[in-house]
Chains A and B, each alone.
Chain A
Amino acid sequence: EIVLTQSPATLSLSPGERATLSCRASQSVSNYLAWYQQKPGQAPRLLIYDASNRATGIPARFSGSGSGTDFTLTISSLEPEDFAVYYCQQRSNWRTFGQGTKVEFK
């Protein structure tokens, strides 16, 4: 099983700041990695697929990068609606998620 480790567990930032979230895989997943956003009481929403492609309707302030075992989700300038939990997910071998990073108000 491919284990995804996200860091940090919690990121405390203010609106307008840049957020950088990390996801590390226990073995190479090529570029088969996605990022999701989940707000309380809601289903996850796909943000990024195949490491760097924005899903339909996702604002340009969200960007993804990386390949192999190290990946990054960047939110260039946090909007109030961006405070949420973010998960990475790989599809290289079955489908597994990271444990999540919470982006909270500082």
Chain B
Amino acid sequence: EVQLVESGGGLVQPGGSLRLSCEASGFSFSGYWMSWVRQAPGEGLEWVACINPAGSTTNSVDSMKGRFTISRDNAKNSLYLQMSGLRVEDTAVYYCVREFWAFGDYWGQGALVTVSS
């Protein structure tokens, strides 16, 4: 059974940093593109960043480039999102997503990040 379990969410002040982790199991993690997708409270979905199986290619939405960094450790079956310069508008549930041809076929339960003073 495919499982994606996020951790690392919480309350952070504006301008602060946070690192989200996602532990994957039930599939060959090193063979898949992986992504982070977020959802602000009561709002729609926004694709944040993606990374190729080897971890050598990443891409992210323009508004987050330079602030958010996606990475992975295939030996640990783990995906990460390093977030810095956090803003109030970054408050959201962040989902770890396994990609299937750039669609999300499996999603974690989400990690809530709240940016507030």
Contact = CB atoms under 8 A, between A and B. Distances in A.
A49 B95 contact: no
Interface in A73-97: 87, 89, 91, 94-97
B109 A49 contact: no
Nearest to A85: B44
A9 to B, nearest CB: 11
A98 interface: yes
A85 to B, nearest CB: 9
A49 B100 CA distance: 9
A61 B44 CA distance: 25
Contact of A95 (B44, B47, B95, B105): B47
Interface string B21-51: 0000000000000010000000011110010
B49 to A, nearest CB: 10
B103 A97 contact: no
A46 B44 contact: no
B55 interface: no
A8 interface: no
Interface residues of A, number: 21
Given A91-B102, A95-B102, A43 B95 contact: yes
B61 interface: yes
Give the interface centre of A34, A99, A100 by most chain B CB atoms within 10 Å: A34
Contacts of A45: 107
Contact of A43 (B35, B46, B61, B107): B107
B50 A95 contact: yes
B44 A97 contact: yes
B105 A46 contact: yes
Given A43-B95, A87-B44, A36 B105 contact: no
Interface string B80-117: 00000000000000010000111111011110000000
Contact of B108 (A43, A49, A56, A91): A43
Contacts of A50: 101
A13 interface: no
A3 interface: no
5 contacts: A43-B108, A87-B44, A95-B50, A97-B44, A97-B47
